[in-house]
Amino acid sequence: MITVWKKDMIADVANLVIGLGLFISPWTFGFAAESPTNWNAWLSGILIATIAVAALAIIAEWQMWAALARGVWVAVSPWVLYFSAKAMVTPLHVIAGILVVAVAALRLWQLHQSHPP
């Protein structure tokens, strides 16, 4: 059980760091004055971090599905919100989204491998 908890914790902490990084990215990379890019980074970052904190507190499958959905949104949002032409912001969102999706998918896979139906 302790080994499983450590695996859970690593994935959730990774998503927490990615979420916080996305949240502070408008200030770090200088696009804090650009809407909707800044709002997307702030809201998506805080939602990813909140889901990660919830997952650290109570392990439930819905949190990983929510993180996966939020990661997909972050990855495609440059095209949905029409800021894909921004050279620094688009790769930041795509990479952050892909990382969140990968961590959530890995965690879901681990969850289903350790607890067969």
Give the pTM: 0.85
Tokens of 115: 């607890």
In sequence order, the 6+-apart residues with CB closer than 8 A to the CB of 45 are 19, 20, 21, 22, 23, 24, 25
Say how many residues make up the chain: 117
What are the tens digits of pLDDT across the range 64-81? 999 999 999 999 999 999
**pLDDT (mean) for 42-68:** 91
Domain ranges of the chain: 2-114
Q: What is the pLDDT of residue 115?
A: 57
Q: Is 41 helix (H, G, I), strand (E, B) or coil?
A: helix
Asked if 95 contacts 21 with a C-beta cutoff of 8 angstroms, the reply is: no
